[in-house]
Structure 1
Amino acid sequence: MMKLASLGLFVFDASTFPFSDLNRRRDWRYGAAPRIGDRDATQYLGPGDELVTLTGALVPEAGARYGSIKTLATMADQGEAYPFVDGSGVVWGSFIILSMDERRRALLVDGTPRMIDFTVELRRVA
């Protein structure tokens, strides 16, 4: 099975957390000082925030496991940073789990969802 990425020892693949979209946002910081009659003078201060957002759906009929949500929530509860590595083996840095959204759909009579849409937001800390 090909892995999409990993966060620490948690592997994102078709049987755990198969995300369909990965969005990455990187910022750089600049300081500004006002100047009379001209634009502000700027100075590069270094890298700013780097956020990674993963979105997808868990579908047990396709092999995904709902327990993966609990595993990631437990990791988030620890407050630790984890290395994020993409599927080609590139290390992006250390990330914390900022948030997880889930939407349970196609509920069975006992409330069990047939699908859970999810969004996981990560922030780089090192």
Structure 2
Amino acid sequence: MASAPILSPAKLLSLGMFVFGMDTAAYSEFQRSQGWRHEGSDRHMARPASQFTGPGEDVITLAGLLVPEIAGSYGALESLVEMADTGGNWPLIDGTGLVLGHYRIDRLNRDHRMVLAGGIPRAIDFSLELTRVD
């Protein structure tokens, strides 16, 4: 009999060796947009014919709030920037161990809020866009 996976609230998702969680960057929103390709051919006096040609884009957007005084770290976002700078792709694995595929980092948006002296934000809203490459 298979046992249920052990879930940890501190580990939400991992992208390669980067683990999204309370001590790094916890996300509060997970959006996934998947598409499938159908190529069309015009036909005389009829609707276009179409043929399924395979999977299309698979894009995941993670969004969250980083508040280093409570949860997360400034360095977590910098680690994601370093990963993106390599142009590589990594396996994306959810907290139950399900492999979602290999994804690359396409975009990281950051909004600094409640900026203190020295330009240090008390909170950072972030969103990360990942695109499947396998």
Shorter-normalised TM range: over 0.9
Alignment of structure 1 residues 45-84 onto 2, 5 Å: 45-84=53-92
Cα shift at 1:111:
1.2
**Match of residue 24 from structure 1:** 32
- 2-side partners of 1:62 and 1:33: how far apart? 56
* Matching residue within 108, 111, 116 for 1:103: 111
- 1-side partners of 2:21 and 2:68: how far apart? 13
Matched, 1:9 2:17: yes
- 1-side partners of 2:75 and 2:90: how far apart? 19
Gaps of 5+ in 1: none
- Where 1:19 maps in the other structure, the secondary structure is coil
Cα shift at 1:125:
0.1
Greater Cα offset, 36-45 or 116-125: 36-45
TM-score (norm 2): 0.91
**Match of residue 44 from structure 1:** 52
Q: Which amino acid aligns with 2:123?
A: M
Cα shift at 1:63:
2.5
Gaps of 5+ in 2: 1-7
Moved over 4 A (4+): none
Post-superposition CA distance 1:55-105 (Å, at most 9, x none) = 001001212101001100000011111000011111010000000000000
Identity %: 42
Question: By percentage of residues, which structure has more strand?
Answer: 1
- C-alpha RMSD over aligned residues: 0.8
